[in-house]
Homo-oligomer: A and B are copies of this chain.
């Protein structure tokens, strides 16, 4: 069995997608992460869901976590103030990391190794410089492995 057999359709976002739309997609469909594609549908990056939260955290709280204790307000207010006017481009990682992307010939073991190494519960399937064929989630991989 190869990655091409495991790949399933998966919603994508672009760098210009408003951050609020991206967060709604993630939350509304319980996705493990977001795949950012370019105009030719090639995967640019794969964002774990936790990184979307970076939008709502003011930088002074990242420098001094104790400050976050002081700000106690409704969850929606915290969030909406954070995402206002921002797009997916603001979420892109600054440093280059290994991208969780495999080609369609990758084996199950390769897919598992990429997920474990990149700590990404979501892997895009695409040839080099090719449009995305689909994606494999950790849940789908485990379901296939365990027959659940």
Which residue numbers of A lie inside 8 Å of B, CB to CB? 1-2, 23-24, 26-28, 30, 32, 48-54, 56-57, 61-62, 65, 68-76, 78-79, 105-110, 112-113, 115-121, 138-139, 141-148
Contact = CB atoms under 8 A, between A and B. Distances in A.
A115 B71 CA distance: 17
A141 to B, nearest CB: 7
Given A116-B51, A119-B119, A109 B1 contact: no
A53 B138 contact: yes
Q: Chain copies in the assembly?
A: 2
A122 B48 CA distance: 13
A1 B110 contact: no
A50 B120 contact: yes
B23 A65 contact: no
A27 B139 contact: yes
B65 A113 contact: yes
A83 to B, nearest CB: 9
